[in-house]
């Protein structure tokens, strides 16, 4: 007997924006991909080989234009950084800035972060994950697209070292309430610090492009630091 199951639709946390890529972003992707880019493939990354050294690794999900990611990589040469973004112009901008700063401790993957975490990051390999100003998906019927939900959090818990850090931030009050609720029920993360502020007290990070956008709209900012058990 054949079953007529409808095909399973993957719930994505993003819709690919068709934003224009500038010639300099295009050039950066072409000229510096070999130095900064990593392809998505279903094979675990050997981070010591990728960075040609052994160091703690910070992973940023949805880095946008990457300005804050590059700034962090410049300020922390002792750490490795991996940035994941689906928006190609943003990745081009990030690689351009990394090349200008001539840093060696950053790599970029242009792909869905959930699949990168699942396919390419070994368990307990990360010391920190940043998810800053994730798309808020404000409509109720879209809440399932929010990254701060079980599929992402289960992967984050598996990929972070014990005692590793998960940093979250949002400028959407309803997403902040959602994050409080979802994280309250998790036994694999302990809250270290939560801040509500007006852009003046970012929690161990620099101000981001979307944070500035939220502040201009009069939004407050929420920051969380969780520790992985």
Ligand X SMILES: C[S@@+](CC[C@H](N)C(=O)[O-])C[C@H]1O[C@@H](n2cnc3c(N)ncnc32)[C@H](O)[C@@H]1O
Q: Which of 119, 135, 154, 188 is catalytic?
A: 135
Q: Are 95 and 103 contacting, i.e. CB atoms less than 8 angstroms apart? A: no
Whichever of 127 and 208 has its CB closer to ligand X, that residue is: 208
| All residues at 6 or more sequence positions from 6 whose CB lies less than 8 Å from its CB, including other chains | none
3-state secondary structure 55-93: CCEEEEECCCCCHHHHHHHHHCCCCEEEEEECCHHHHHH
CB of 86 to ligand X, least distance (A): 4
Whichever of 118 and 209 has its CB closer to ligand X, that residue is: 209
Pairing of strands 221-228, 160-170: antiparallel
For residues 122 and 200, what is the distance between their CA atoms, to the nearest angstrom? Answer: 35
CB of 12 to ligand X, least distance (A): 7
Pairing of strands 57-61, 189-197: unpaired
Whichever of 55 and 209 has its CB closer to ligand X, that residue is: 209
Map residues 17-56 to x or -, x wherever contact with ligand X holds by CB under 6 A: ----------------------------------------
CB of 41 to ligand X, least distance (A): 16
Confirm or reject binding of residue 87 to ligand X (CB under 6 A): yes
Catalytic residue list contains 135: yes
For residues 205 and 219, what is the distance between their CA atoms, to the nearest angstrom? Answer: 18
Residue from the set 45, 47, 51, 64 that interacts with ligand X by CB under 6 A: 64
Confirm or reject binding of residue 88 to ligand X (CB under 6 A): no
Three-class SS of residue 79? coil
Confirm or reject binding of residue 132 to ligand X (CB under 6 A): yes
For residues 123 and 161, what is the distance between their CA atoms, to the nearest angstrom? Answer: 8
Confirm or reject binding of residue 86 to ligand X (CB under 6 A): yes
Question: Which spans of this chain sit near ligand X (rule: CB under 6 A)?
Answer: 13-14, 61-64, 84-87, 90, 112-114, 132-135, 208-211
Active site residues: 135
């Amino acid at each position: 007997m054949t079953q007529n199951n409808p095909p399973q639709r993957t719930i994505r946390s993003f819709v690919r924006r068709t934003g224009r890529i500038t010639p300099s972003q295009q050039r950066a992707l072409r000229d510096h991909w070999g130095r900064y880019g990593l392809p998505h493939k279903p094979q675990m990354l050997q981070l010591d080989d990728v960075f040609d050294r052994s160091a703690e690794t910070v992973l940023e999900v949805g880095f946008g234009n990457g300005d804050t990611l590059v700034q962090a990589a410049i300020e922390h040469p002792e750490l490795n950084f991996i940035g994941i973004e689906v928006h190609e112009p943003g990745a081009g901008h990030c690689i351009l800035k990394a090349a200008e700063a001539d840093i060696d401790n950053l790599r970029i993957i242009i792909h869905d972060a959930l699949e990168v975490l699942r396919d390419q990051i070994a368990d307990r390999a990360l010391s920190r994950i940043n998810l800053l100003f994730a798309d808020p998906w404000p409509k109720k019927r879209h809440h399932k697209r929010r990254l701060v939900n079980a599929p992402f959090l289960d992967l984050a818990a598996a990929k972070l070292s014990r005692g590793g850090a998960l940093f979250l931030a949002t400028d959407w009050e309803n997403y902040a309430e959602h994050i409080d609720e979802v994280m309250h029920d998790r036994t694999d993360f302990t809250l270290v610090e939560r801040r509500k502020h007006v852009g003046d007290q970012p929690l161990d990070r620099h101000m981001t492009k979307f944070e500035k956008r939220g502040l201009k709209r009069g939004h407050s900012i929420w920051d969380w630091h969780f520790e992985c058990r």
